[in-house]
Structures are given as C-alpha cells and as structure tokens.
C-alpha cells in the first residue's frame, strides 16, 4: 500500500511540478524553501486517511460533483446552532446530534463559521486565529471536528470551513515570538521602526473599517514598532513575501483538509500581497499564491475545493476562477446579486438587478457561484452607481434611502434592520438584519393580522425562489428556512453590543424548529414552502448548472423575468418586487405548466400577487 501511495503522489507531483516550481521560484527564488514545500506536501499526503483518499479518487472521476442541481448549502455558527442539552452551549458535538435536521432540510453542503482557536473579545467573530490547528475549546476539539466531518460524509454532506489567510491573531505563537524579539517570527509580519513607510502605504491603501478600526497599521508597545493591521489592531497581517509564511499556511490548510474538510473558504484573499504605492488589493502575486495552493490541494487532497471570498462584482471576481487550464478557486461568491436583490426590494424597480444579472448570465457556464440572500455579514451597498445615475440616483443620498428603508424609518417601510460601520464623513453605512426582519415579518407578527403575515411569508418564499432560479450553489443562512427574526438581545451583551452584525447572529430557535411541519405557524409555512421549491429544483434538468439562462422582458419595471433552457425543458421565472399585484406581458404565447400548482398557463398576460412569483415550465 505504501508503494502504491508513493506512486500516486509521484504521479500527481509530476503532473504539476513544472508549473509549481516556476510559480514558487518566480515569487521567492529560494530552492531550500521550495524543497521544504515539497516535503511538507508529501508529509500531508502520507497522513491523509484511506477514507479521504478514496473520496479523492471518486471526485477525480466526477470532477463536476459540486455543480449538481440538488446541492443546497447552509451557513451557520456552531455556537448558535449546535445546542447539546437544555442550556445554550453550542458545540461541534451538538451539530453532529442535529445532522438529522439538516438532512431533513435538504442540506448537503454545510459551512461552519470560524471555529478555530481565537481570543474572546478580540476575535472579530473568530477571524483572529491564534492556532490554525486547534478548535476553540468552547466549541470542542479537533477530534470533534473530524468526527463531524466523518458523519457529514456518511450523510452525503460536504463540509466547508473558513481559512483566514491574511492575518493571525496577536495571540498566535508567531506573534508572541515576534513580540518577544525573535527576528524570524517578526519576518512573518510587517514591522517598521517608525511611521515613515506605513504613512506611505496609507496614501494608497483604503481603510477597511474607517470608523471602528481606522488606518492600516498599529503601534506595538512591547517592541516599540509599527505593525500592519489591515482589519483590526489585534489582527496582524502576514507577509507572504516570506516563503516561510506560504509554506506554513499551506501546511495549516492541508491539515484541515486532512481532518475531512471538503471546501476551504479563503478569507480576504485579495488582500494577501502588499506593495507600496498600490492599493494592495488583487495584485498579480495574489493569483500566483492561490494557484500554488490549488496545486498543493491537487497533489495532496484533490477532492477538496477552494472557495474564494472576493467581495466584488462578478465581472471583476472572474480572475479568481483562473483559467480552464490553470484554475484557482473552484467557487466564488455572487455578492453583487445579493446586494442588488435587496436594492430591488427597497426600490421595487428591477432595472439594476436585471442589468446585473445580464452580466452574470453572459459568463461561461464553468464558473460556479455561491448564491445567497443573507449571510453572517452586513449588506454593503457596492452597487453600480454609474448605471443607477441614468435613473437620477446618486450614491450618497441613495445609500441613505436604502438604509432608511431597511431600518423602517422610511414612510411605508416595515423592515427592521440596523446600521453597521456608519461613516458620516462619506455618507456610507452597511446594513444588518435577518431575511425575515428585513422583509417586515416583525411588525406583521406584532399585529397578529393573518393577511399581513401571509403576505410577508409569500415575500420570503418568492426571494428564495429567485435564489434557487440562479445557476450555482444556493446557500441558506441558518434560521432563514424558519423565517427567524432579529436577535435584539445582543445589545445587552458587552462582548457583542458594539457590533450590530450580531443582530442576525442569534441562537437558532429549536422551539420554532419543532413547528416546521405545522403550517399554522409562520415558521412551518416558510419551511414547507422552501422544501417544496428545493425538491422541484432537484427534480428538473432545467436547473442544471450548464443551462442557458437569460433575462426576460415582462414589460413591467416591477417584475423580474428569468428564462432557463436545458435538454427538453424551458422555464419562465417571474418575480414581482412590488407590494401590489402586477401583470407581466410576455410575447411567448405558448402553454406552460405552473410548477407550484400544476395548472396550465398561457405565457402572454400573467398576473402575479404582491411580492409573488411564478415558475412556469414547458417540456419539449
């Protein structure tokens, strides 16, 4: 068996080595470091257990396994979901106990928010990692993670984990050694004896959090030096110009892959290479580093995928896919469609969303996006304001309108959200809230008016139908399948009160989950409606990733129309973003079948309820 494994490793290395060495030496020109890199790859390959090596071979035989139309993801916090007992103590063991709920919900792609060891109160939600090879003790152990991964695999689920590439916690062993004066440890970061060079960086490098963490550098009192901290002062940026950093971070990534993690989410990947005089974002060296990590995974664990966290419009994130011959990330986020969707909810006008989707639909079918309505983070209004300018919308006042609307202070709005990282100087702010609360479920429930509640439930269903209409992997944010509302109690927690994103990071409500089949409750109605949509999507080839997709012209600015065609099926999907009923005027004229009701519908003049949708199918 050992000789066979050695042969497999040698074959994989031989297939990649010309490019691997060329990229490595172009970045570092260091033979000794490169030799260590290869030794590290072999060591990780040797420690990959047989069950994972078997999975690698299966996925090599089916390289598009992650493009199946039956894939449905869920994003969650372990501490919020994995209750293990009567008290709230969410753990990995608790998640394992609730895999039956996830399986019943149709989830086969599970993304756990950061679970690695990080200091309480200085972690940015777990993104300040103090040990890449240890789980936060409050959540469990690395053995628990491996057990969860094993159980997920047995249940047909893939497991995704965040890998924070750009920085470590100031409590990481490397950072502690650096503060103690170790020059090798200091070379892993960006240290400067004075502010001269940092001030030069500040001339061109944007601030990530101008209000809560202004600037890109912090003063390290112990050393009397300046250290680069792009995100928060307790997150020290890693210096990837040092090959030791790439070697050790790749080793950390592969360690997680060997615990059974199927998808590695590369956090903040555009930031990882810094150059004076640039924005230090999306530099060419970033793509070389990602390609090197992709090749490392191809050699050690080819069943593992890379998911890039790149928060830009689809046409600009495309380079992170790489090329067909030299891929980088297999999957990227479709963040612009998410933001444009909420813009459309607030304006009830589909021009921007249709314009944005036209761009996405023109991209090659091999590109796989993760699509979502909400996630753990805020909604940033990175919209196409050049396009919106054609309709008289200017950036600062329009962002204010959107934020006022979703806070419920705009006349007629029932949304309930809060601002995050408000920047009065730039007239900018981001937005927080759950899907249900942003769609107005909170005041509807308070009123007790059944018609109002039913309207909001319909709006939640409609937005998820739009999510499932898109090509790619749809990802639910845990709790959205039950229409869970905001957790306002975070204001009373001193460790959370300063971060309004905790508004939508509340504990999973297991009492409401128990009502999921009771359609007399809002949570039961939403849950059953979403399960119906998911089953329909899995049953019809028209939802395949390689289907042709385009926008329709319904001759109504309140209605978004999407067409799909694959094999012998054609879908017309219509979504009304207005609160009142609207009519779509289509030139089709053919007869379709409503996938929700089974009724035959002539595709010419079609009425949609307020915030409603139609999925119409024709089979040839």
Rounded distance between C-alpha atoms, residue 289 and residue 299, angstroms: 16
Active-site residue flag, 35? no
User: Which residues, 6+ apart, have CB-to-CB distance to 7 below 8 Å?
Assistant: none
As given in the structure block, the two tokens for residue 543 are 């939802």
| Residue whose C-alpha is closest to residue 431's, from 491, 492, 471, 486 | 486
Kindly tell me if the per-residue pLDDT of 86 is higher than 70.
no
Give pLDDT, residue 587.
87
Give pLDDT, residue 1.
54
As given in the structure block, the two tokens for residue 60 are 């090599």
pLDDT digits (tens, 9 = 90+) for 558-597: 999 999 999 999 999 999 999 999 999 998 889 999 999 9
As given in the structure block, the two tokens for residue 520 are 């007399």
Kindly tell me if the per-residue pLDDT of 72 is higher than 60.
yes
Give pLDDT, residue 170.
97
| Residue whose C-alpha is closest to residue 329's, from 305, 296, 299, 355 | 305
Q: Average pLDDT for residues 512-536, to the nearest whole number?
A: 97
What fold, for 334-539?
Answer: TIM Barrel (3.20.20)
Question: From the CA atom positions of the chain, what is the Rg in Å?
Answer: 25
- If DSSP codes are grouped into helix, strand and coil, which group holds residue 124? coil
Phi-psi region of 277 (alpha: psi -120 to 50; beta: other; left: phi over 0): left
Kindly tell me if the per-residue pLDDT of 85 is higher than 70.
no
pLDDT-derived band at 312 (thresholds 50, 70, 90) equals: confident
First to last CA, the chain: 52
Q: For residue 595, which phi and psi values (nearest 5 degrees)?
A: -70, -20
**CATH: 3.40.50.2000, 1.10.10.1800, 2.60.40.1180, 2.60.120.10. Which one for 544-619?**
2.60.40.1180
| Residue whose C-alpha is closest to residue 461's, from 510, 531, 391 | 531
User: Which residues, 6+ apart, have CB-to-CB distance to 445 below 8 Å?
Assistant: 453, 485, 522
Kindly tell me if the per-residue pLDDT of 418 is higher than 60.
yes
The structural architecture, per CATH, of the domain 167-237 is Alpha-Beta Complex (3.90)
Kindly tell me if the per-residue pLDDT of 485 is higher than 70.
yes
pLDDT-derived band at 301 (thresholds 50, 70, 90) equals: very high
- If DSSP codes are grouped into helix, strand and coil, which group holds residue 78? helix
Give pLDDT, residue 87.
63
Give pLDDT, residue 88.
67
Give pLDDT, residue 554.
97
**Every domain of the chain and the residues it spans:** 167-237, 334-539, 544-619
Q: Average pLDDT for residues 417-431, to the nearest whole number?
A: 85
As given in the structure block, the two tokens for residue 320 are 């992170």
DSSP string, 428-486: EEEEE--HHHHTTHHHHHHHT-HHHHHHHHHHHHHHHHHHHHSSSEEEEETTGGGT---
Rounded distance between C-alpha atoms, residue 81 and residue 95, angstroms: 7
Question: Element (H or E) spanning 619, and its range?
Answer: strand 613-619
Choose, from 237, 309, 442, 499, the residue flagged as catalytic: 309
The residue count of the chain comes to: 620
Is residue 483 within 8 A of residue 460, CB to CB? The reply is: yes
Kindly tell me if the per-residue pLDDT of 189 is higher than 80.
yes
Is residue 227 within 8 A of residue 220, CB to CB? The reply is: yes
Kindly tell me if the per-residue pLDDT of 350 is higher than 90.
yes
| Residue whose C-alpha is closest to residue 47's, from 205, 223, 188, 257 | 257
Choose, from 117, 267, 298, 328, the residue flagged as catalytic: 267
- Mean pLDDT is lowest, of 207-216, 268-277, 278-287, 508-517, for 207-216
Give pLDDT, residue 424.
73
Q: Average pLDDT for residues 64-93, to the nearest whole number?
A: 89
pLDDT-derived band at 316 (thresholds 50, 70, 90) equals: confident
Q: Average pLDDT for residues 22-31, to the nearest whole number?
A: 98
Active-site residue flag, 309? yes
């Amino acid at each position: 068996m050992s000789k066979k494994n050695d042969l497999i490793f040698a074959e994989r290395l031989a297939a990649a080595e010309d490019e691997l060495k060329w990229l490595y030496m172009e970045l570092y020109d260091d033979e000794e470091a490169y030799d260590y890199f290869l030794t590290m790859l072999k060591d990780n390959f040797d420690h990959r257990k047989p069950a994972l090596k078997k999975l690698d071979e299966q996925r090599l035989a089916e390289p598009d396994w992650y493009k199946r139309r039956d894939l449905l993801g869920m994003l969650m916090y372990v501490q919020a979901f994995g209750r293990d007992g009567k008290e709230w103590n969410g753990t990995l063991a608790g998640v394992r106990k609730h895999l039956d709920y996830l399986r019943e919900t149709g989830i086969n792609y599970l993304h756990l928010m950061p679970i690695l060891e990080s200091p309480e109160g200085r972690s940015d939600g777990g993104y300040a990692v103090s040990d890449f090879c240890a789980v936060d003790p409050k959540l469990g152990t690395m053995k628990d993670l491996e057990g969860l991964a094993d159980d997920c695999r047995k249940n047909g689920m893939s497991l995704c984990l965040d890998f924070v590439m750009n920085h470590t916690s100031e409590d990481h062993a490397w950072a502690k050694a650096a503060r103690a004066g170790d020059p090798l440890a200091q070379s892993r970061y960006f240290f400067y004896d004075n502010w001269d060079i940092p001030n030069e960086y500040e001339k061109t490098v944007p601030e990530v959090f101008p209000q809560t963490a202004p600037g890109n550098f912090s003063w390290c009192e112990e050393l009397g030096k300046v250290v680069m901290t792009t995100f928060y002062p307790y997150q020290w940026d890693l210096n990837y110009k040092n090959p030791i950093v790439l070697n050790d971070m790749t080793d950390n990534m592969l360690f997680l892959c060997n615990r059974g993690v199927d998808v590695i989410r590369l956090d903040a990947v555009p930031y990882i290479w810094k150059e004076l005089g640039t924005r230090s974002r999306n530099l060419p060296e970033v793509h070389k580093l990602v390609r090197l990590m992709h090749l490392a995974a191809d050699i050690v664990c080819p069943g593992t995928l890379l998911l890039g966290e790149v928060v830009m419009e689809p046409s600009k994130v495309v380079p992170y896919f790489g090329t067909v011959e030299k891929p980088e990330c297999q999957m990227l986020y479709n963040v612009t469609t998410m933001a444009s969707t909420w813009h459309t909810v607030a304006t009830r006008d589909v021009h921007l969303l249709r314009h944005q989707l036209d761009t996405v639909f023109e991209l090659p079918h091999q590109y796989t996006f993760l699509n979502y309505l909400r996630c753990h983070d805020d909604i940033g209004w990175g919209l196409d304001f050049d396009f919106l300018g054609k309709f008289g919308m200017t950036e600062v006042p329009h962002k204010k309108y959107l934020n006022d609307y979703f806070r419920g202070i705009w006349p007629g709005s029932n949304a309930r959200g809060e601002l995050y990282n408000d920047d009065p100087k730039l007239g900018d702010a981001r937005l927080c809230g759950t899907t249900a609360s942003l769609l107005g479920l909170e005041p509807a429930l308070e009123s007790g008016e059944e018609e109002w509640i039913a309207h909001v439930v319909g709006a939640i269903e409609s937005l998820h139908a739009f999510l499932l209409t898109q090509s790619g992997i749809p990802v639910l944010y845990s709790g959205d399948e039950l229409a869970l509302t905001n957790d306002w109690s975070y204001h009373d927690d001193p460790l959370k009160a300063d971060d309004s994103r905790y508004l939508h990071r509340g504990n999973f409500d297991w009492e409401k989950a128990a009502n999921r089949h009771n359609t007399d409750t809002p949570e039961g109605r939403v849950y059953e409606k979403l399960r119906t949509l998911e089953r329909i999507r899995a049953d019809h080839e028209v939802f395949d990733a390689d289907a042709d997709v385009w926008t329709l012209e319904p001759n109504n600015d309140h209605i978004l129309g999407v067409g799909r065609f694959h094999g012998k099926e054609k879908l017309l999907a219509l979504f009304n973003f207005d609160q009142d009923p609207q009519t779509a005027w289509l030139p089709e004229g053919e007869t379709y079948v409503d996938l929700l009701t089974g009724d035959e519908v002539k595709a010419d003049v079609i009425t949609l309820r307020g915030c409603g949708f139609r999925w119409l199918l024709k089979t040839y």
